[in-house]
Structure 1
Amino acid sequence: MSSKGVTVLVQVSEKPLPDALVRELAAIGISVAPAENRRRTAAGACGFLVAGESDAARLSAGLAEWDRPGLLLVYGDRVVGTAAEALAAQYPGWEVVRLYRFAGGDRALVGGDPNSPWTRILCRQLAEHDVIAMVCGMREAEEVIRQLPRYLAWKERFYLRLGESCDRRGVRLQTVARALGMDSRVGQGWLDPQRNDRAALRRWLVRQCRFVMSKTNVRRVALWGPTSLWQQMPPGWLADKEVRLYIPRDEQIPNGESTAGERCATWQSALAEADLLVVASPDPDLMELPLSDLIRQMRQPIVVDACACFPLPEAEALPMIYRTIGEKTNVWEWSGL
């Protein structure tokens, strides 16, 4: 076992790892060797990376080609349940460590024996890359990873319901939410626009887009966000509309043709002569653009924004229709409706 660090792991899956996962691991000093190179890289690797739903079941074939035990790093939230605990019981000669990095990347949860060699090495390596690590038992780590998305989904449902209440009462969600965050028991971190509860988000988008299309003549729609979300939208929600799709640069682009609409290489081509822009991703590039530059590309400046990407005073100062969650602004009464 090398005491220098966890520098090279062999992936279990035969499929290429997502680019985002490769970057996450590289940021903490870990490179990943493809599964087909496991024999050649065994001398330089310290173990295997278990990062997919089916990796645990495929692991035995890879371990059979190694003549020494090492590290089994169970990484991320795609490996659910008690997979790490089961691997530790199945391969007692190997050290199994559960690693999860929280949103933001500067904090991590390490599940394992705090006195075991690879756990100590991994914690030291995280510290060298400015990542604060909390070490706990493997079962506790698994429970945290299992419960975190449930809590976030509950938080998001509350946020959407709060937005509906603000709509009914004619008050602004962002103001109410920030005021709630002044209580130390709540904080401001819960306002993060990233959304995991896509079912609630899809319902909101469909409801708002149907309202717009019932009031004005919409022929061309531009969608800004991940293909995976648009493909989950209910059938016919944009029936008889010409749909163009722009995928943010940090989103993974699936193989094959998109069923959500015509994929555009630039946001300018996606918005050209569009009647309606639907935003479902808090893309930094989008948030840095002046709203006036966006609507200049459109035939009708109508924006349904699920992520509150633009300041409301900016939207209200422009001749456009702008709708975001919990903000029933007076721009709905613009002459276009």
Structure 2
Amino acid sequence: MSSKGVTVLVQVSEKPLPDALVRELAAIGISVAPAENRGRTAAGACGFLVAGESDAARLSAGLAEWDRPGLLLVYGDRVANTAAEVLAAQYPGWEVVRLYRFAGGERALVGGDPNSPWTRILCRQLAEHDVIAMVCGMREAEEVIRQLPRYLAWKERFYLRLGESCDRRGVRLQTVARALGMDSRVGQGWLDPQQNDRAALRRWLVRQCRFVMSKTNVRRVALWGPTSLWQQMPPGWLADKEVRLYIPRDEQIPNGESTAGERCATWQSALAEADLLVVASPDPDLMELPLSELIRQMRQPIVVDACACFPLPEAEALPMIYRTIGEKTNVWEWSGL
């Protein structure tokens, strides 16, 4: 069943899993076999992985090929909030466990019967991989997963409004946010790039970009961030501009052609001769990039950054225009923007 801290599960979806998800599961000792290996002997598996929106509906065909019930692991936040509960009622005898890893990966929520075999095995396996697990009922776990993005969206809206207040008062959001986070009830960090609803952030980006373009001659724009966000931007927000798009590593690329602009394979090609860089994802590649190199790549070093990727003192000391939420740098003011 599970040996040396490794659990083998068969994926339900016929499509290959995203590389980031495969690595995420491997980090806690879960190996995924392709959907065609549905037989227990062929796959050496102990159950099925339900990790996508339509996986639960496709599960019945796979279960019919098994000689006895095993584990149905409902993983992550890409499945319906009631998926585990529905599967438990639909397939009696199979042990359904709801597993969710919180941001950072050091903690996990396990929803299931604490005395059942697979709940105990998964908790032990998480501990072997240095992940702290909280065990609760399946319905409680699903409620946590349902409410968490709502709370994070509310928190992001609060800090965006705080940023506007900081702008008006001439104080720095990063300093204020860090100080608020010293209270354990608040905590550090407030931008959540995994959110589906980024309406407030999109409004901020549109407002800042329109302001920049009204003050400077911008011809080429580089967008750094997930396609899903750029495709939700209002039509015509970059009308008459040459737009290049760079999708950070580990971002899932949607099917079909992008409507956000020309997709570039490297960040260098996206930034080449750009007048404006718009950042919507805290990508490590960008955060490790020296600002001097960014300036060298661009025709005009103008950056609108929703994620505060660069140190403000460094941005202020260089000949560039840099704008992030709640931070009007000296260079921004000096340039007349």
Place the TM-score, normalised by the shorter chain, in its bin: over 0.9
Q: Deviations over 1:221-278 (max 9, x none)?
A: 1111111111111111100001111121222233443221112222222111111111
Name the structure 1 match of 2:256.
256
TM-score (norm 2): 0.94
Show structure 1 runs of 5+ residues with no match: none
Q: Deviations over 1:158-191 (max 9, x none)?
A: 0111101111112111111111122232232447
Q: Secondary structure at the match of 2:15?
A: coil
Show structure 2 runs of 5+ residues with no match: none
- Answer whether contact 2:37 2:43 (CA < 8 A) is retained: no
Percent identity over the alignment is: 98
Cα distance in 2 for residues equivalent to 1:63 and 1:191: 40
Bigger drift between 6-15 and 234-243 goes to 6-15
Cα distance in 1 for residues equivalent to 2:198 and 2:163: 16
Bigger drift between 177-186 and 252-261 goes to 252-261
Name the structure 2 match of 1:116.
116
Q: Secondary structure at the match of 2:56?
A: helix
Shift of 1:40: 6.5
Shift of 1:216: 1.1
- Answer whether contact 2:152 2:192 (CA < 8 A) is retained: no
- Answer whether contact 1:49 1:75 (CA < 8 A) is retained: yes
Q: Deviations over 1:92-127 (max 9, x none)?
A: 111111111111111111111111111111111111
Name the structure 1 match of 2:187.
187
Shift of 1:64: 1.0
Cα distance in 2 for residues equivalent to 1:285 and 1:271: 13
Distance 1:7 1:312, change over 3 A: same
Cα distance in 2 for residues equivalent to 1:236 and 1:41: 55
Cα distance in 2 for residues equivalent to 1:155 and 1:299: 36
Q: Secondary structure at the match of 1:99?
A: strand
Bigger drift between 49-58 and 275-284 goes to 49-58
Cα distance in 1 for residues equivalent to 2:31 and 2:67: 21
- Answer whether contact 1:162 1:173 (CA < 8 A) is retained: yes
Q: Counterparts in 2 of 1:114-153, with a 5 A limit?
A: 114-153=114-153
Distance 1:330 1:43, change over 3 A: closer
- Answer whether contact 1:224 1:245 (CA < 8 A) is retained: yes
Cα distance in 2 for residues equivalent to 1:42 and 1:142: 32
Q: Secondary structure at the match of 1:38?
A: coil
Cα distance in 1 for residues equivalent to 2:38 and 2:330: 62
- Answer whether contact 2:321 2:335 (CA < 8 A) is retained: no
Q: Counterparts in 2 of 1:325-336, with a 5 A limit?
A: 325-335=325-335
Cα distance in 2 for residues equivalent to 1:160 and 1:324: 11
Q: Secondary structure at the match of 1:59?
A: helix
Cα distance in 1 for residues equivalent to 2:199 and 2:256: 24
- Answer whether contact 1:111 1:137 (CA < 8 A) is retained: yes
- Answer whether contact 1:194 1:281 (CA < 8 A) is retained: no
Q: Counterparts in 2 of 1:44-55, with a 5 A limit?
A: 44-55=44-55
- Answer whether contact 2:245 2:261 (CA < 8 A) is retained: yes
Q: Runs ≥4 in structure 1, deviation > 6 angstroms?
A: 191-194
Distance 1:223 1:10, change over 3 A: same
Q: Secondary structure at the match of 1:31?
A: strand
Name the structure 2 match of 1:69.
69
Matched positions, count = 337
Shift of 1:280: 0.7
Cα distance in 2 for residues equivalent to 1:58 and 1:254: 21
RMSD: 1.9
Bigger drift between 28-37 and 256-265 goes to 256-265
Shift of 1:197: 4.0
TM-score (norm 1): 0.94
- Answer whether contact 1:222 1:271 (CA < 8 A) is retained: yes
Cα distance in 1 for residues equivalent to 2:332 and 2:2: 64
Distance 1:335 1:144, change over 3 A: closer
- Answer whether contact 1:322 1:332 (CA < 8 A) is retained: yes
Cα distance in 1 for residues equivalent to 2:94 and 2:267: 49
Name the structure 2 match of 1:82.
82
Cα distance in 2 for residues equivalent to 1:194 and 1:60: 30
- Answer whether contact 1:156 1:197 (CA < 8 A) is retained: no
